Amino acid sequence: MFFIEVAGIWTFAAYWLLKSRELDRSKADAAAVTGELERTPRKAGPIGYWLDTTPALEEK
């Protein structure tokens, strides 16, 4: 049981570090605060609609 819990903690820690790095690189938190983050449905999935959380790019 101990090793299963250790594996779960390591998995969670790896996921946390990966998502933190992703958020830091994409600057999604700053885009969300300034209102530049567009949330539009991309496609319907088995659970519902997945939301596009990538910053909106303005076409000129």
Looking at per-residue pLDDT, the higher value among 59 and 4 belongs to 4
Report the pLDDT value the prediction gives residue 60, as an integer from 0 to 100: 47
pTM of the model: 0.50
Model confidence over 20-57: pLDDT tens digits? 898 888 887 777 788 777 766 555 555 555 555 555 55
6/12 Cα distance (integer angstroms): 10
53/47 Cα distance (integer angstroms): 17
- Distance of CA 7 to CAs 16, 24, 44, 55, Å? 14, 26, 33, 34
